[in-house]
Amino acid sequence: MNADQAAALGTRPVGPLLWSSSFQSTIAVATYGIYALTNAWFVSRGVGSIAFAAVNLVAPVLMILGAVTTTVGAGGASLVSRSLGLGDLRQAARATGTAFVVYWATALVITVVGLVFLDPLLTLLGATDETRGYAHVYGAVILAGSITATGFSSLVRAEGRMRFATMLWVVPVVCQIVLDPVLIFGFDLGVLGAALGTVGGQAVSMGMSLWFFFVQRDRPYRVALADLRPHGPTLRKLVAVGAPSFLGGFGATLVVALVNNLLVVLGGPVLMSAYAICARIGTFVLMPQLGISQGMQPLIGYNAGRGLTDRVDRTRTLAVRASLAYGTVACLAVLVTAGPLVGVFTDDPAVRDAATDALRVLALAYPLAGVAILVSAYFQAIGRALPSYVISIGSIIAIRVPVLLVFGLFGVGWLWVSFPVAELVAAVAALTILRVLGGDRAAWRPPPFRRRVRRR
């Protein structure tokens, strides 16, 4: 695999190319979804439902790290794919090096600040006397290992290396799945074992990434130490394009924290445990929608860089259709199997009944759950940050949070209903923005990189 694989992004038929790219991305993220489910099972069965609720309380911390990862990943991948489309290998290497440095610096800040203010943070996230001890242990380990929390698979996908991008997910997750039962049951470490298993798998991913970008030679470009030096123009472009991902991830963190705090008032640990189960199931079920979004981005970025407008439009249309179709199938499947799915994670009758009822309502959001994310990713891929900002910020501040707060006033049943209602409004808004701005081809002409191949 070499430069020819990147060039294939602009020559192969769009349909099979999108299918292949999305399939590889889906395998990767679905593998993590499997880990999320198995981790939930190990904690729930090995420690208890209260411990599982506590682990879910720390989920926003992981989401913040994920937001930082997607910020540098989406921004860097957009620059890399467009640079390769233009044949500017120097810019591609510089964008990748900048992404590494920005993430490492941010992760160190998050670690220090998070550990210093961990207790107030847990209170803000809705920790109670029952859940605080477990949440403190889990959160401390996750924060301490935050620098390992990404393998930069988006940057690998940006040059067409779909198989290795998949392995950056699969190998670490397999390690995590093996480590969890050994540490939780074998060494009787409980929640601490679950956290150590997560960080251990992340470290494997980071090691694979360092080898790929800094050592491996059979690639269009290789990152040198000089590319790790801050470069102002590249940094500004990366942050401008990637920031909507951070805002979207931060907004999702805000929503989870808000829901947990509302559930503390409405029903306490039982409802919190029920929501934790539904969230893990939803994370897994909706992974293919994320895979479609991630698989679309390198195709959009590369072809936009080369000015191949018809291929960009075709890729975008097929991706939207695929996301809607998959979400509908997933919704129907979960509606039918909600009870058995919940029963896998808990034997507590109160938690099981509450989670089953909630899951059937939350599943109604699945058909449209990937739309806003996909449209935002499209605008990032073509280097247009403003529409992506509007979608990322607007869907949270103007739609999801207000709907949650208003519906939550009427009880827990209406709180669950707020999820599909908010998803519907967000999807309609995103598609309207896409209809108005997505066809403006003049706005995404190739960026002003130098149009020549630079041999390094």
Residue-wise pLDDT tens digits, 112-125 = 998 999 999 888 87
175-197: average pLDDT: 90
Give me the mean pLDDT over the 11-23 stretch.
80
3-state secondary structure the chain: CCHHHHHHHHCCCHHHHHHHHHHHHHHHHHHHHHHHHHHHHHHHHHCCHHHHHHHHHCHHHHHHHHHHHHHHHHHHHHHHHHHHHHCCHHHHHHHHHHHHHHHHHHHHHHHHHHHHCHHHHHHHCCCCHHHHHHHHHHHHHHHHCHHHCCCCHHHHHCCCCHHHHHHHHHHHHHHHHHHHHHHHHHCCCCHHHHHHHHHHHHHHHHHHHHHHHHCCCCCCCCCCHHHHCCCHHHHHHHHHHHHHHHHHHHHHHHHHHHHHHHHHHHCCHHHHHHHHHHHHHHHHHCHHHHHHHHHHHHHHHHHHHCCCHHHHHHHHHHHHHHHHHHHHHHHHHHHHHHHHHHHCCCCCHHHHHHHHHHHHHHHHHHHHCCHHHHHHHHHHHCCCHHHHHHHHHHHHHHHHHHHHHHHHCCCHHHHHHHHHHHHHHHHHHHHHHHHHHCCCHHHHCCCCCCCCCCCC
Query: For the segment 193-205, what is each residue's pLDDT rounded down to a tens digit?
Result: 999 998 998 899 8
Nearest-10 Cα torsion for 249, 82, 93, 295: 50
Q: Apex CA 276: angle with CA 268 and CA 398, to 5°? A: 90
Q: How confident is the model at residue 452 (pLDDT cuts 50, 70, 90)?
A: very low
Which of 18-27, 219-228, 321-330 is the most confident on average? 321-330
Of 274 and 297, the one with more pLDDT: 274
**Highest mean pLDDT out of 14-18, 30-34, 373-377:** 373-377
312 vs 305 pLDDT, higher one = 312
* Whole-prediction pTM: 0.66
Residue 356 reports pLDDT greater than 90: yes
* Share of residues in the chain with pLDDT > 70 (%): 92
What confidence tier does 440 reach under pLDDT thresholds 50, 70, 90? very low
pLDDT at residue 7, rounded to an integer: 63
What pLDDT is recorded for position 455?
A: 39
Look at residue 443 and tell me whether its pLDDT is greater than 60. Answer: no
Q: String of b and e for 404-421 (b: at least 16 CB within 10 Å)?
A: beebbeeebeebbbbbbb
Residue 331 pLDDT > 90, yes or no? yes
In the predicted model, what is the mean pLDDT of residues 69-78? 77
Average pLDDT over residues 283-295: 86
Q: Which residue has the higher pLDDT, 105 or 68?
A: 105
What's the pLDDT at 200?
92
**Average pLDDT taken over every residue of the chain:** 83
More confidently predicted of 19 and 440: 19
Please determine, for residue 426, whether its predicted confidence score (pLDDT) is greater than 90: yes
pLDDT digits (tens, 9 = 90+) for 130-150: 888 998 999 999 999 988 887
- What are 367-414's pLDDT values in tens digits? 999 999 899 889 888 878 788 878 888 888 889 999 999 998 898 999
Percent of the chain with pLDDT over 90: 23
Window from 16-25, 311-320, 358-367 with minimum mean pLDDT: 16-25
Q: Hey, which of 62-71, 179-188, 249-258, 299-308 has the most confident mean pLDDT?
A: 179-188
How confident is the model at residue 348, as a pLDDT?
Answer: 85
Residues 42-69, buried b or exposed e (16+ Cβ, 10 A)?
Answer: bbbbbbbbbbbbbbbbbbbbbbbbbbbb
pLDDT at 159 over 90: no
